[in-house]
Structure 1
């Protein structure tokens, strides 16, 4: 295993940061192209359809994290057979899940519209969009596994290549299908579908080392009961942890609505700052996942400590830089995101919370990466249960006294407690390598 240096951490992290830049760009192009049709309904249909599918696919985000931790450990242990078998298992899960979504699409979409009803026109256009996009479900979910595998073996330039290709082709086809051929909402869906499947093909090519030597079709290993049980345990814990975290953020949005439309809109604007924070700091957490996982697989506790320290230093640098940027440039960014004067004023009032958020939350985000690499999924789950319980207490006590400031304080407490609880459990990561 090569030395863990600052250069190595940046080599893993920076391509992830760059690849994340393409995600909001795609959403902007989708909206902008449909907006040229001069009608509100197509914009709403594309937005609603994208939210429905992203919510469905989000459940399988564990496949990315679980694959990274398990593959990094087998890679560190110099076990290429298991490295390939893990990817095969993850791809089988992704493929089966995607096919299930295709078969159950009528039930899923009926439930989605019952939860988020829309006008007859928007719902009709959204159904047209979903009827095309759902055929990309196997590709999208399998790409989670491929991304996890590439991160684990430090091939994050491959992640960048897949993202740039998929989102770049999607944007190009958006223009051709919608503005050139006049396909409207269906054109946006078709563009995404083609991009997803070609992105999967590129991803499989970049993972070709996993298939070398035929280990991917070593079915006795792929379907080994103990290894499957371990994979299911890790992924199940991560999924529960993610559901709890998503529930906490969803409750933040819903409770913000109680303070009026202006406050709700201001919170929505400021949540974009948190999204920028996630995009900016993901790379360093992913570096921790890969390097810690390899150190655990190689049974080198000292390397776990070194990986956590070096990646954590860069994460802290990024968090401080983002916090300063939000403090100084936040008012200008708010003005770009909204033109409504009352929303601008409210967002400025709550801006200090998001300026401090990166520094408050960096420990929890970096420790997430460390725990994923060490496959301490049960500890992640338990830390999240404790943190959400404290968050609920904060929600019950702070907003009634401080209003929306109390709501933001509760969210900061959630991330702070996550960091503290996982920090207390960190020694287990080093023991996992020992």
Structure 2
């Protein structure tokens, strides 16, 4: 079968990105698998702590998305020095925000976890994991900015090596610290922190080498960082809407019962792996569309967007089949509790059926982010969350089970996809130039 040059470039960028995105969730998957065998209560504590971390880090994903779009557009327009300057200030912003999050997260750990439904022993386990994880916040944000820069220059290979290497390091450290030294859930968090710092130093080294020929200043420019924050405002709203929807679902699940929230955590990991896998095409689209629009090639950007959607739906459908067939074995990886396995298997079916829809949603994310159309994305995602979050909360008010919570997630995904697709069809996102 002959592949068009357009599809070939998409796949050349997407395949390494897919490997990296599959490897990235292995941090939490490894934590879930190891901690899950310590017992149901530690697993439930991990679920709540992970939801809190998702809330915090999810708000900072603009460092990756915004950097990718900006660097791609600047390099497409031939503005290499401006791209280097943008990279430096993005890294400084990541460092300062990471330090602030580490301090604030440590101080606010208990009330935040209680807000998410943690009580008693569950709160104790969640608090240990969350507080120790905060030591990795600056490193995590540097990694986000670093991967954004490399994607923007169409390099998705080095992020793959970082993702694989740090995931393996995290797993080895966890197995040694927990099973050899019996250190408990805190060791799981510290293993992840060490891996995050190793990854951050890799990105700092690579970017410093890439920008050296352009002789840009390496000192922090607070005026430039304020401009970056202003531009990132719309992406922040988008991330808040997405993150808040899933955090709300976890909070409701925690109030239904310990088995329910443990099963929800396993199902969420299935959704997360699926979402990150399909996001590979979105990453390729971000880099290609940003570069094409920077070079003034709007028509080609539209064609790349259409092919991104087709490929993403195909990936989502394939993953749906895999998850549907492997629902019980997947659950058994994370828990030995028969009740948790049975319930999580049922929830994984929800995730599997959502695959094609998720493919369209994530493709549209990549297209519009690459185009710098964050303002419309923010409005669309806020509107979708305004529909999905009340639906999720209503399940608790009505005394319904965890399956209905995932019904609320379905509503959110349908609204999100519909609004973004309407924007894509309008063509108003095809703005050219640097």
The TM-score normalised by the length of structure 1 is: 0.82
Q: What is the aligned partner in structure 2 of residue 231 from structure 1?
A: 228
Do the aligned partners of 2:113 and 2:127 also contact (CA within 8 Å) in 1? no
Do the aligned partners of 1:72 and 1:291 also contact (CA within 8 Å) in 2? yes
Q: What is the aligned partner in structure 2 of residue 356 from structure 1?
A: 353
Q: What is the aligned partner in structure 1 of residue 196 from structure 2?
A: 196
Q: Distance in 2 between matches of 1:392 and 1:186?
A: 31
Q: What is the aligned partner in structure 2 of residue 298 from structure 1?
A: 295
Partner of 1:428, secondary structure, is coil
How does 1:306-385 map onto structure 2 within 5 Å? 306-334=303-331, 353-385=350-382
Q: Distance in 1 between matches of 2:48 and 2:391?
A: 32
Q: Distance in 1 between matches of 2:36 and 2:323?
A: 29
Q: 1:392 to 1:104 in 2, by over 3 A?
A: closer
Deviation of the 1:126 alpha carbon: 4.8
Q: Distance in 2 between matches of 1:393 and 1:42?
A: 29
**C-alpha RMSD of the superposition:** 3.9
Q: Distance in 1 between matches of 2:392 and 2:183?
A: 46
Q: What is the aligned partner in structure 1 of residue 211 from structure 2?
A: 211
Q: Distance in 1 between matches of 2:392 and 2:184?
A: 43
Q: Distance in 2 between matches of 1:132 and 1:260?
A: 26
Deviation of the 1:290 alpha carbon: 0.9
Do the aligned partners of 1:292 and 1:304 also contact (CA within 8 Å) in 2? yes
Deviation of the 1:150 alpha carbon: 1.2
Q: Distance in 2 between matches of 1:319 and 1:39?
A: 32
- Deviation track 1:162-183 (CA, whole Å, cap 9, x = no partner) reads 1122222233344555566676
Q: 1:391 to 1:57 in 2, by over 3 A?
A: closer
How does 1:408-419 map onto structure 2 within 5 Å? 408-419=406-417
Q: What is the aligned partner in structure 1 of residue 17 from structure 2?
A: 16
Deviation of the 1:270 alpha carbon: 3.3
Do the aligned partners of 1:277 and 1:358 also contact (CA within 8 Å) in 2? yes
How does 1:77-156 map onto structure 2 within 5 Å? 77-104=77-104, 106-112=106-112, 114-115=114-115, 119=120, 123=124, 126-127=127-128, 133-156=133-156
User: Which range moved further: 339-348 or 244-253?
Assistant: 339-348
* Residue 389 (str. 1) matches residue 409 (str. 2): no
* Residue 286 (str. 1) matches residue 283 (str. 2): yes
Q: Distance in 2 between matches of 1:43 and 1:333?
A: 15
Q: 1:54 to 1:365 in 2, by over 3 A?
A: closer
Q: Distance in 2 between matches of 1:365 and 1:88?
A: 28
Do the aligned partners of 1:80 and 1:210 also contact (CA within 8 Å) in 2? no
Q: 1:209 to 1:76 in 2, by over 3 A?
A: farther
Q: Distance in 2 between matches of 1:332 and 1:326?
A: 10
* Residue 73 (str. 1) matches residue 107 (str. 2): no
How many residue pairs are counted as aligned between the two chains? 427
Any stretches of 5+ residues in structure 2 without a counterpart? none
Q: 1:346 to 1:141 in 2, by over 3 A?
A: closer
Do the aligned partners of 2:18 and 2:279 also contact (CA within 8 Å) in 1? yes
Q: What is the aligned partner in structure 2 of residue 425 from structure 1?
A: 423
Q: Distance in 2 between matches of 1:125 and 1:334?
A: 21
Deviation of the 1:366 alpha carbon: 0.7
Do the aligned partners of 2:297 and 2:432 also contact (CA within 8 Å) in 1? no
Q: Distance in 1 between matches of 2:182 and 2:230?
A: 48
Larger radius of gyration: 1
The TM-score normalised by the length of structure 2 is: 0.82
Q: Specify which structure has the higher proportion of helix.
A: 1
How does 1:28-39 map onto structure 2 within 5 Å? 28-30=29-31
Deviation of the 1:48 alpha carbon: 6.4
- Deviation track 1:246-277 (CA, whole Å, cap 9, x = no partner) reads 22223334445677776666554433331221
Do the aligned partners of 1:26 and 1:170 also contact (CA within 8 Å) in 2? yes
Deviation of the 1:395 alpha carbon: 5.6
Q: Distance in 2 between matches of 1:190 and 1:406?
A: 35
